Amino acid sequence: MGCCGDDGDDGEILQPLTHSNDPNTSNRHPSAAVDGSVAEPDAVISPMNSNFSALACSDTLRAILERLPLLDLARAACVSRLWRLVASDREIQTGAFKAPWKLKAVVGNPSSGSFWRDNSLNRFAISHRYEIE
């Protein structure tokens, strides 16, 4: 089963990426021929053309981003539009804010969206608006 429940080929995910310090072979794909020719067009190992395609699945990405500290979550939001969409989810941001302080809940709404990028309690007191219902 592939990403997000679709039927995909999971065989390529189980193959390890190889990296060599030899400058002549560092960009070769594991299936490259001995003469240096490459059988596939995506021979360079990078997040966009290797086993990182699972990170395009919002469910998998959410499971990973939920475990990040707040500062790293803010950095992850700069990677792509999908990552920003997942990282800007209120539930993920609240969880990342509560974790270092071992808080049970955050009451109210921040006055600014940038509040979540700085998890100090001083900023919490200044930026957090509490409304009595």
Kindly report whether the global pTM for this prediction surpasses the value 0.85: no
Q: Are both 24 and 38 inside the same structural domain?
A: yes
Question: 51 — phi, psi (to 5°)?
Answer: -80, 10
Q: Are both 69 and 123 inside the same structural domain?
A: yes
Number of independent structural domains in the chain: 2
- For residue 100, what pLDDT is reported? 84
Residues in the chain predicted with pLDDT less than 70, given as ranges, are 1-54, 111-133
- For residue 18, what pLDDT is reported? 58
Q: Are both 67 and 122 inside the same structural domain?
A: yes
- For residue 93, what pLDDT is reported? 87
Q: Are both 41 and 66 inside the same structural domain?
A: no
| Domain that residue 3 falls in | 1-56
Half-sphere exposure of 55 (CA within 13 A, CB side): 16
Q: Are both 65 and 100 inside the same structural domain?
A: yes
**C-alpha span between 96 and 68 (Å, rounded):** 7
